[in-house]
Amino acid sequence: MTQSRAGSRSHCHLGPAPQHFLISGPEPFKLNRSYFLAALALVLAVLGAHTTMTTMSSLFTRFMRPFSSGPLRAVENGATGVAGGTHQKATIAAGCFWGVEHTYRKSFASKGLIDARVGYIGGDSKNPSYRQVCGGDTGHAEALQVTFDPEKVSYRQLIEYFYTIHDPTQLNRQGPDRGTQYRSAIFFHSPEQEAIAKDVTERANKEWWDGKIATQLVPAGDWWDAEAYHQLYLENNPGGYECPTHFIRKLPPLSQPESS
């Protein structure tokens, strides 16, 4: 039976703002009010405007994610991407990419992470826009692609970390975000990465997740950068939406291969 890709989109708002988010204008000024009360109301309105708008902005970002015409660039698959092959790429999907990027940057910014970008991978069409991916019909996953220095952080460490920051047992969803675009997946860039990803997944499945991991392991195809406003989203919007399953779990150290 074919499963529909589309799912509920708790933070993908496609229509006009709900009425309870609309702010009504002030009551018309009545001439029989005293000048003092009018002046006081004006002062309070001016003083409170900044606080009110800041609060409303934070509230809106938790329920609505913006759209634009399309992603920034396409990057073809490759095992090593930059600096003469000394750096490598790792590509993973773990639900809404805002929180995934944010936690990787916080944890590895000074530990070998060269760059981190959010985007789309694993789909059927070229140059997908966020609106199209959010609709669940292109086959793409919201994903994170990091460029890292393997002399400072290993691919194995990045994949082990991946299994601690989201719930990999949830199929085609993550928390309240439902649809194949929110699937858990590892997109490997080389046979070596494939072997490591499979080994870590088997160990994490047995030792951490009670044999319930639903994460896909697939070759990395074309990568499409997400629109500019998605990059560093939570750094630029501290009150923005973050999937409730995105947090670092306190798990015992994962067993390692004998050769490690």
Return the closest-CA partner of residue 244 out of 91, 121, 56, 98: 98
Q: Of 142, 3, 10, whose CA–CA distance to 71 is shortest?
A: 142
Distance CA 205, CA 218 (A): 17
| Of residues 246, 92, 101, 98, the one with CA closest to residue 167 | 246
Distance CA 87, CA 130 (A): 28
Q: Is 172 exposed, middle or buried (CB count within 10 Å of its CB: 0-12, 13-18, 19+)?
A: buried
Question: Active-site residue 96, yes or no?
Answer: yes
- Residues with Cβ < 8 Å from 120, sequence gap 6 or more? 71, 128, 133, 138, 140, 141, 142, 143, 223, 224, 226
CA distances for 159 relative to 144, 155, 174, 223, 241, angstroms: 12, 6, 18, 19, 24
Residues taking part in catalysis: 96
